[in-house]
Amino acid sequence: MPFSFFSSFLRRERKAEPMQKPPSRQRPAVALDNLQLDLPFADAPASAAPASPIPPTPAPLRGDIAPAEPAAPPTFAPDGTRMRRLVLGQRTLDYRLKRSSRRTIGFTIDGTGLAITAPRWVTLADIESAIVDKQKWIFKKLAEWQTRVEQRALPRIDWKDGAQFPYLGKTIRVSLGSAKSALHFDVESGVLSLALPALADPQQIKDRVQGWLQTEAKRIFGDRLRVYAQKLGVEFRTYALSSAATRWGSCSSDGKIRLNWRLIHFPVSIIDYVVAHELAHLREMNHSPRFWETVESIFPEFREARHTLKHHPPELLPAL
């Protein structure tokens, strides 16, 4: 989740003037922003100093030293944001800078790198000072994203005869050319037989496998929900499958539960943890200590399961 911190700021004092003048209008103090890594600054200056006129550059005379080569033109990200570069010791940091009407500096890190949104009145020196102050956090998060990108770049499943995919924590193999008219799964051998020709279209194979996985998810999740609802002494209204990219499950206050169908890749113990977690919300619609006590009362091993899911978000599962 985005990280936030607050730092104190100082208000500037003005010297009294001999004549009473109406006070100059100042910008409001920097607001706190809980959604991003924010660094409040001192009050914005009352007005910007007028720009000094730039004297024209005289034409060079014979014998004069030639003017220096012009600086390289700025580069821009695909979204049109200007790219900047800052050298921090032996490291070089590239970042995108965007100006806005916000009153704080916002740091956002994702798969495309570091993006900074800053008020129009904040100087570049102040922005880079903030970067220096938080460089340890920035480089740590950039490294985490790089690891995630590398993991996501794992080869996709090659949908053909002999293709393999995870199901309930085990590896399942696809077999084409089955003489049976319907799909068949052999638990002992871990083979899913499809009534498709050996050279069937990869998309057709994928669709058959995904349809089977979702059918299995609907059946198994429903069974586990009923088991743990009885243990906890609660009743859920309905349940459905979801394809959320960042969430394993959800529970509404009216008893509607949604579970990510891709949990079917994990062992039953992991599925049970998510089921127990969502059902516990029917008692505590929060993540307070009482909530975790409720989860533990029906699934004591929840810590290990929670750790597993934390390091295996939906986006890092095999790309079906």
Per-residue pLDDT, 315: 61
Structure-model confidence comparison of residues 177 and 110, the more confident one: 177
> How far is Cα 239 from Cα 259, in angstroms, rounded to an integer?
8
**H-helix or E-strand spanning residue 251:** strand 249-251
pLDDT at residue number 29 = 36
Q: What is the residue-averaged pLDDT of the chain? A: 77
pTM of the model: 0.55
**Contact (Cβ atoms closer than 8 angstroms) between residue 163 and residue 173:** yes
The dihedral through the CA atoms of 299, 304, 307, 312 has a sign that is negative
For 224-259, write each residue's pLDDT tens digit: 999 999 999 999 999 999 988 778 999 998 999 999
Q: Give the model's pLDDT for residue 19.
A: 43
CB atoms within 10 A of CB 166: 16
- Top mean pLDDT of 49-63, 254-268, 306-320 is at 254-268
Q: Is the pLDDT of residue 34 over 90?
A: no
Per-residue pLDDT of 270-303, as tens digits, reads: 999 999 999 999 999 999 999 999 999 999 999 9
Task: Give me the domains of the chain, ranges plus CATH numbers.
Answer: 2-6+29-43+76-153 (no CATH), 164-316 (3.30.2010.10)
Res 181 pLDDT > 60: yes
Cα–Cα distance between 56 and 40 in angstroms, integer? 39
Report angle CA 271, 273, 277 to the nearest 5 degrees. 120
Q: What is the CA radius of gyration of the chain?
A: 29
Average pLDDT over residues 267-272: 94
Cα separation, 131 vs 166, whole angstroms: 42
Question: DSSP states of 49-84 as a string?
Answer: PPPPPPPPPPPPPTTSPPPPPPPPPPEE-TTSPEEE
Q: Over the stretch 100-129, which tens digit does the pLDDT of each residue have?
A: 888 888 888 876 788 898 899 999 999 999
φ, ψ (nearest 5 deg) of residue 115? -120, 135
CA distance 177 to 187: 18
Q: Please give the single-letter amino acid code of residue 91.
A: R
Q: For residue 24, what pLDDT is reported?
A: 43
235, 226 Cβ separation under 8 angstroms: no
